[in-house]
Amino acid sequence: MKVNKLTPGSNMIWEASRMMLPEHKELMNYYQKERNRKTKPVLEEEEVNIISQQLSESMLSKSQITIELFRAFGQNAFKTGTVTKFDTKLRQIKLDYDDEYKWIKFQEIVGVS
C-alpha cells in the first residue's frame, strides 16, 4: 500500500513546516530582533546639566572627552574626541577625533567622561 500526505496517521503538522514563505521568515527575524531591543534610559535633569557642562568645557578648553552613545541593539558605543561645535538648532554637537569628525545628536548621548 502506497502512503501519501492524505493517508490517515501521517504527521501533517510537520509536513506543512517544510516550506516557509520569505515573508514569514522576514517577519520571524524582525520579531526576534525586536525582542533584543533595549530601551533608552531617561536621564535626570541634573545628569543632563552635568553632560552639557562637560561638553562645553571640552569645546572651550579643546580637551578630549569620551561620549557614551546609546545603541538600541548591542553594546553602547564610545567615542573619544574634542567637541568643536554646538548646533543648538539641530540639537547636535560636532566631535573631532583621529583627523575625522562626527555629528552626534544630543538624544544619543547617555554619558560623558
Q: Which of 34, 16, 43 is nearest to 110 (CA)?
A: 43
Pairing of strands 65-69, 77-87: antiparallel
Note the pLDDT tens digit of each residue in 45-56. 999 999 999 999
Q: DSSP H helical segments within 36-83, as ranges?
A: 45-61
Report all structural domains of the chain as residue ranges with CATH numbers, in order of start: 45-112 (2.30.30)
Note the pLDDT tens digit of each residue in 82-108. 999 989 899 999 999 888 999 999 999
Is this model's pTM higher than 0.85 or not?
A: no
User: Beta-carbon neighbour count of residue 43 at 10 Å?
Assistant: 14
Q: Which of 88, 91, 85 is nearest to 105 (CA)?
A: 91
Amino acid at site 92: Q
